[in-house]
């Protein structure tokens, strides 16, 4: 499930679900400006209550009337229902698109590389403003750490459960050798600016000269 800012959501028995259900393998949450927008309440019997037929406005939790645009969550029963597609930007990689919201500057995708994959013509790159997070789901791969643009770099092996945070102006690279012996799958989330939606379109990575 991907739940962008200001998407209306609910659950529980009153909505027809069981409290112990967890049918989604991946969950990406965003909560707008951090406020909780209350659009109704549930009574003791689970019934939906809307005072005077309108959602209540509670300044302490955020006023629904100030929201400029409501959106909707996207639910997929299983990532197995999504096809692996060739990555249009990186040959030899494959992706499953979870959320590609260019207007709000947010992208989440599953990325897969096969055993023995080499990064084709990709040297050292960085973002001027964007933030990117990588969470290793399975497999292993080598990524490179650089202190500065002229640094030769150091290879670091990451495995299942690792989280990599790539803030603005941090240098990213794969090296020239095979990246993974067994292959790897990771969740990749990119924000245009900061770590919230609404930062404008995501920029293209910048390549460093001589890499």
**What are 105-122's pLDDT values in tens digits?**
888 999 999 999 998 887
Averaged confidence pLDDT in the chain = 78
| Tally of CB atoms within 10 A around 136 | 18
pLDDT tens per residue across span 158-172? 999 999 999 999 999
DSSP 92: T
Position 93 pLDDT exceeds 50:
yes
**So what's the pLDDT on residue 112?**
97
82-207: CATH class: mainly beta
Tokens of 207: 């390549």
Residue limits of CATH 2.60.120.10 in the chain: 82-207
Q: How confident is the model at residue 148 (pLDDT cuts 50, 70, 90)?
A: very high
**So what's the pLDDT on residue 62?**
62
Name the pTM for this structure. Answer: 0.72
CA angle centred on 13, ends 11 and 16, rounded to 5°: 75
For residue 180, give the 3-state DSSP assignment.
coil
């Amino acid at each position: 499930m991907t739940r962008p800012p200001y998407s209306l959501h609910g659950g529980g028995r009153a909505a027809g679900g069981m409290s112990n259900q967890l049918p989604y393998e991946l969950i990406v949450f965003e909560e707008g400006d951090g406020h909780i927008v209350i659009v109704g309440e549930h009574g003791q019997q689970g019934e939906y209550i809307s005072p005077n037929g309108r959602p209540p406005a509670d300044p302490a939790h955020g006023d629904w009337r100030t929201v400029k645009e409501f959106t909707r969550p996207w639910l997929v029963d299983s990532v197995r229902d999504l096809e692996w597609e060739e990555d249009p930007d990186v040959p030899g990689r494959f992706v499953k698109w979870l959320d590609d919201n260019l207007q709000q500057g947010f992208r989440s995708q599953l990325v897969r590389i096969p055993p023995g994959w080499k990064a084709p013509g990709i040297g050292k790159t960085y973002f001027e403003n964007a933030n990117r997070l990588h969470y290793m789901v399975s497999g292993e791969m080598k990524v490179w750490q650089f202190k500065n643009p002229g640094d030769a770099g150091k290879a670091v092996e990451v495995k299942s459960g690792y989280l990599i945070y790539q803030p603005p102006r941090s240098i990213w690279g794969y090296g020239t050798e095979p990246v993974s012996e067994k292959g790897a799958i990771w969740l990749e989330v990119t924000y245009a600016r900061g770590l919230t939606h609404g930062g404008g379109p995501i920029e293209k990575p910048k390549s460093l000269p001589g890499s």
